[in-house]
A and B are shown apart, each in its own frame.
Chain A
């Protein structure tokens, strides 16, 4: 069943915010040979008891199902939601993109940033740091363009995602 075509899935994993829980999740992926394309984690409850981990993974549907089942087996996991399967949802990531240069390239970088609604959050006479957010493709595309106008380095958050509509998943 591992020969089926691979699909990209975004999972939300709601866990107890306790020591070692991230190691359990990440370790499960590496121990069983599952992919992690990106991973984000932060506590999301008022009392800091619960964290939400967003994992973008890929694999054939039976493997995705197996990933869900293995995650649900971990004791500190409250629930796992496959947002890709669940339906309409919003996925965003943010990147900080450092660009250095002068003259035309510097002007072009600023112009492109404007088109992508990327904000300069730091500047010197020879550089910018842009904050850009959006879908993974948009961030990828922005970074690709910046390579042509003096890209120095990139830091990106990985995907966070949430289902559309009024209900919690």
Chain B
């Protein structure tokens, strides 16, 4: 029975890929429905198989298919690590497929790519040789590129997709040589790579290449610039899948290469770049999430932040494993994995809700939303569950993951050496800052978009989405709550993955109800905390109800201290509410002035002019400014040079050839003299 799990999952992958073709054959009008329904069914099946694999102890099994390049048959394998990520992928995929059923026909044109996207990700997880891994990874990149282009008539969408495919190309350019460096002769199987871990410069090259190749896809700073625009450009269910699952698949590749294929004998220093880049991304992403004015860009920036937190955990796990501190390694890796799972749930939930909001209110801009809680009460309730995870409020899923990560980072000075101690302190401080920024971003998102009064008529007329979307949101919220209330159980479920990556299991640290930083001591007991918080909340509710007058009445909303409203707006102009930009201003002035080069310019009309005053804010991502602008200027220099060479005069062209000939001959002559 257990031996059949891998073939069954392989069949699921094949069916997902075939479903793409089948839905093309179904023709326009019907392809969206077919792709979504089929994906939903297959994802549910795949998720079930992954759970069975994890529960049954995750015995590793492998399979060699007869197909592939000549002499290079595809190898598949299923073990604890891939099963853990498969579970996450299939859960998110099922929710996204259910949400896509509520699509109103607008995603029909690119619907066939949806199951292919899922199939590519699943193939990456099942891959047991370099070729299959790269194949799955690239299918995933290309299919998601097509999905991002769904609304291709919008120039912004096209620009975002172009940036995205460019970064995917960079990833491929790094990932393929990385696999070639790991390969043993012409043997690309992971089993052979494990027996010959890389050493010396090859090991360093593998580290750099996988950090760029997989890190760029995961959204690891400073290669995260594609992430906010691409997530904003894609339809809701696609960005949910990209943020919830695709970034995790990239992290899986990172883990597979760094923890598994490179062997346990690598130096401690390997963890440092992950910690540094993670801390950088966490703060930058958190700050950007407070500044952006588009709901999905806010969520995508927050993805950068959470990926940064997970990367910090992975970095410390790598260092602790090298330093032979199994307890710390388990804690750090377990925290990273738990947070990846939690983030996959609540961020997918928030992206789906953002898609529903965009459909209902006609916009994603914070300064045109507001008051959605009146028209979309069910959605708002579910979004609150996700936002609690985003803000890491106990007992949400986000809190469990971040708490475990914090425990690991606070124990990290045990790694020894001044360098690691300083690094751990800096990482802890930046993580705390990032967590606070995330909480602020969540409050801003809920407060501006869902509370208050509608800023536009369209926002006032928003209604809850259809049944499939609500079911997807409720499913993700339920899973997220379960992970939050029983993080111990979730981590036990993921235990085989931790065991495989760092060599020790989670059993000493994790009970079914608690997670402890040190074996067999007190720790975080989420259900107890939930009961206490519930009791306190109930008490407050009781007191409030007991001591206040019954019945409800609605008064005028506070208008931010503005003067008397005009007659045609008896409750004041909703646009004068405290908005997203107002909320961001203190943080922008305190932090972003130096970190993101935030500059404000006020355009004040002259006396007598009738136009309104404007305040413009300009923000720049440092990665954009220092890394990509620099690369862009090099690129244009190279192309200018090529241009110059192309338009040389006849005599100059001859002279160039003549000089090249002379240099060549001089080199030959010099070599002969030696």
Say whether A and B bind each other: no
